[in-house]
């Protein structure tokens, strides 16, 4: 993912440029601690692996015994003993293989479940600047598709790789025990096999990273459009959107196809080279048998070990491609895990008082958004709001009203100057403490796919239903909630009941009342509410503002009339301050805005 983290991706050297086994596996290393948490599972898997490999490796020796002794002496007893032993070995092999599969897959699932939880915890900790550039759909793809790839690496691939490594080593040892001469010849062929494998691994890795990236982009695109499905349909944009998504999916297919093709070549190339070398070595062995230098049983034994060794190597090569793909996924996950949030608690945060008084002060604040560093959103802005004061912010679109809120919640740090709460610089506080002191009721409140009660108590899971109901009553929301099919247990959100704008606002106000924070930030809805909703919202606001420092981005005449002070912003600066009457009398920006906005409101109400 290219857009999301300028800082982190610069910190790590581009992975594609590094070579060899170690470099390919390096991205997987941060995952090791996850696996090491489950030492018992690993130990069981390992033990099962040893037993299974050992059992497999005894088979060729049994075959040799059968050929050299079983058939030559006409003792039926020996034949029976050999066959009986083979059944025993097969039983051990079956049991050990099943056990290994169980423990290894469990480990894979466990590691990935832990990793997903950690990744989400990390994503939840990242700051607004990160999300200004990150695409949620891409992040979701990391959380699901990439972790799934890792699961296969930690589960099946690791299991197959380990089994084959054991088998390979065991087979090679047994080949030397059987015939050092033939074994030496066979081993000489190994570099011929392995070197091209490593080389092609890099190209597989690059292609599969590309495939995953393309997939993530397609997911991001689908996510964006589905979350705004009404806008898409209203604009009649289905056909082009569907076509674009299809193109994105096709591009992901092409990339995956290229990776698969590369893998297919690697696999068949490896098998061809391996088996050709074996056949060549065997031909030499056959000469020895013909010349009487070797028994036919011994050659059979060697053949079987060689086939075991070679097929393990072949499987290792195909696993290698999978592991490289997983390494690609791991490096994309690591990219996210490496991003450090910039908004964090200082090492020794100023402790929060039992109750904040709620004095807010912006002192010569200058600020530009990280995505637009050359354009100041606030310029040398100073504003003090006394405890319990009600301030209405008014100004044209883009004046910087929401930016004031964002800085107060410390979603971003100021560029210059400082913002303080009760005289404490926000940067000296733990953001969690700061945000506990502030209740936010946004313009278009987010309603989650939870029950009404859970939505009101969002972030305060321990709130009792009595407290929730009393907050809803004060927010003038109790009546409409009671009229819902299941009252406070009604499911809201995507798969539940949809609320009207005014109802959502009142739910958000109930949330703010429940938060009982000394500071209230309210962004009034611009859309007109019907008269009944309007009156209910105003009454609720009146209640919630009592005894709190409130800053309201005001769009309604009733709100500005009720404010102790109106602050007029324009282009990131405060241009006027006063009450409705004094500002109208002054005939400045406020008077013009008020005429436009509140005249239409009056006309609408009339």
Ligand X SMILES: Nc1ncnc2c1ncn2[C@@H]1O[C@H](COP(=O)(O)OP(=O)(O)OP(=O)(O)O)[C@@H](O)[C@H]1O
**Under the rule (CB under 6 A), what is the footprint of ligand X?**
132, 369, 371-372, 377, 395, 397-403
Tokens 């009398």 appear where?
A: 585
Q: Quote the least distance from Cβ 223 to ligand X, whole Å.
A: 19
Q: Quote the least distance from Cβ 369 to ligand X, whole Å.
A: 3
Smallest CA-to-CA distance from 147 within 127, 121, 176, 118 is with 118
C-beta closer to ligand X: residue 456 or 567 = 567
Q: Which two tokens stand for residue 535?
A: 């009156």
C-beta closer to ligand X: residue 27 or 572 = 572
Q: Quote the least distance from Cβ 198 to ligand X, whole Å.
A: 45
Smallest CA-to-CA distance from 101 within 38, 161, 160 is with 160
Q: Quote the least distance from Cβ 230 to ligand X, whole Å.
A: 21
Q: Quote the least distance from Cβ 402 to ligand X, whole Å.
A: 3
Q: 116 with 333: CB under 8 angstroms?
A: no
Three-state DSSP class for residue 135: coil
C-beta closer to ligand X: residue 97 or 505 = 505
Q: Quote the least distance from Cβ 441 to ligand X, whole Å.
A: 15
Q: Quote the least distance from Cβ 231 to ligand X, whole Å.
A: 18
Q: Which two tokens stand for residue 376?
A: 């100041």
Tokens 């209740």 appear where?
A: 439
Q: Quote the least distance from Cβ 444 to ligand X, whole Å.
A: 11
Give the end-to-end CA distance of the chain in Å, rounded to a whole number: 54
Burial zone of 194 (CB within 10 Å; 0-12 exposed, 13-18 middle, 19+ buried)? middle
Q: 551 has which bridge partners?
A: 391, 521
DSSP state of 295: -
Q: Quote the least distance from Cβ 566 to ligand X, whole Å.
A: 14
Tokens 């108590």 appear where?
A: 457
C-beta closer to ligand X: residue 161 or 392 = 392
CA atoms within 13 A on the CB side of 284: 14
CA distance readout (Å), 251 to 202, 204, 230, 491: 21, 17, 27, 39
C-beta closer to ligand X: residue 137 or 400 = 400
Secondary structure string (H, E, C) spanning 426-474: HHHCCHHHHHHCEEEECCCCCCCCCEHHHHHCCCCCCCCHHHHHHHHHH
d(CA 258, CA 373): 40
DSSP state of 341: P
C-beta closer to ligand X: residue 313 or 519 = 519
C-beta closer to ligand X: residue 332 or 401 = 401
In 3-state terms, the chain is what percent helix, strand and coil (to 5)?
65, 10, 25
d(CA 405, CA 399): 12
C-beta closer to ligand X: residue 113 or 372 = 372
C-beta closer to ligand X: residue 174 or 583 = 583
Q: Quote the least distance from Cβ 453 to ligand X, whole Å.
A: 31
C-beta closer to ligand X: residue 70 or 395 = 395
């Amino acid at each position: 993912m290219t857009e999301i983290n300028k800082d982190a991706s610069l910190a790590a050297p581009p992975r594609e440029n590094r070579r060899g086994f170690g470099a390919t596996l390096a991205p997987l290393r941060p995952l090791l601690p996850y696996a090491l948490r489950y030492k018992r599972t690993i130990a069981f898997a390992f033990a099962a692996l040893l037993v299974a490999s050992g059992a497999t490796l005894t088979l060729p020796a049994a075959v040799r015994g059968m050929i050299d002794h079983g058939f030559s002496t006409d003792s039926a007893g020996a034949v029976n003993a050999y066959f009986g032993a083979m059944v025993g070995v097969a039983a051990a092999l079956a049991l050990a293989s099943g056990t290994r599969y169980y423990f290894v897959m469990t480990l894979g699932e466990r590691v990935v479940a832990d990793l997903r939880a950690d990744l989400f915890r990390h994503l939840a900790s990242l700051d607004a600047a990160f999300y200004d550039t990150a695409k949620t759909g891409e992040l979701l793809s990391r959380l699901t598709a990439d972790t799934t790839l890792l699961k296969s690496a930690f589960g099946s691939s690791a299991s197959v790789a380990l089994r084959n490594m054991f088998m390979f080593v065991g087979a090679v040892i047994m080949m030397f025990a059987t015939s050092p001469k033939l074994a030496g010849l066979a081993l000489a062929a190994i570099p011929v096999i392995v070197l091209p494998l490593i080389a092609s691994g890099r190209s597989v890795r690059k292609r599969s990273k590309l495939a995953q990236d393309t997939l993530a982009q397609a997911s991001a695109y689908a996510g964006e459009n589905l979350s705004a499905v009404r806008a898409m349909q209203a604009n009649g944009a289905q056909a082009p959107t569907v076509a674009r998504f299809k193109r994105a999916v096709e591009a992901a297919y092409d990339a995956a196809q290229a990776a698969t093709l590369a893998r297919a070549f690697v696999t068949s190339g490896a098998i061809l080279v391996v088996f050709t070398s074996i056949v060549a070595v065997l031909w030499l062995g056959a000469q020895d048998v013909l010349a009487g230098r070797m028994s036919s049983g011994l050659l059979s034994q060697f053949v079987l070990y060689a086939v075991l060794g070679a097929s393990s190597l072949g499987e290792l090569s195909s696993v290698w491609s999978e592991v490289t793909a997983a390494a690609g996924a791991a490096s994309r996950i690591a990219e996210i895990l490496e991003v450090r949030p910039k908004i964090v608690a200082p090492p020794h945060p100023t402790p929060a008082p039992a109750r904040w008084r709620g004095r807010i002060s912006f002192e010569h604040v200058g600020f530009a958004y990280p995505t637009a560093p050359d354009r100041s959103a606030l310029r040398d802005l100073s504003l003090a709001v006394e405890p319990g004061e009600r301030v209405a912010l008014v100004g044209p679109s883009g004046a910087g009203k929401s930016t004031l809120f964002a800085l107060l919640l410390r979603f971003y740090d100021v560029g210059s100057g400082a913002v303080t709460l009760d005289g404490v610089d926000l940067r000296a506080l733990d953001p969690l403490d700061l945000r506990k002191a502030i209740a936010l009721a946004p313009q278009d409140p987010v309603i989650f796919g939870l029950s009404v009660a859970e939505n009101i108590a969002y972030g305060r899971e321990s709130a009792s239903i009595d407290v929730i109901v009393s907050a809803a009553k004060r927010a003038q929301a109790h009546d409409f909630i009671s009229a819902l099919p299941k009252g406070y247990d009604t499911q809201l959100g995507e798969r539940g009941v949809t609320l009207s704008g005014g109802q959502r606002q009142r739910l958000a106000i109930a949330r703010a009342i429940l938060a009982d924070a000394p500071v209230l930030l309210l962004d009034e809805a611009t859309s007109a509410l019907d008269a009944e909703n309007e009156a209910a919202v105003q009454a609720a606001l009146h209640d919630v503002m009592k005894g709190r420092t409130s800053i309201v981005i005001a769009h309604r005449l009733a709100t500005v009339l009720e404010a102790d002070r109106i602050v007029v912003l324009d282009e990131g600066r405060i241009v006027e301050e006063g009450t409705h009457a004094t500002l109208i009398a002054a005939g400045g920006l406020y008077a013009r805005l008020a005429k436009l906005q509140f005249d239409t409101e009056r006309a609408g109400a009339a």
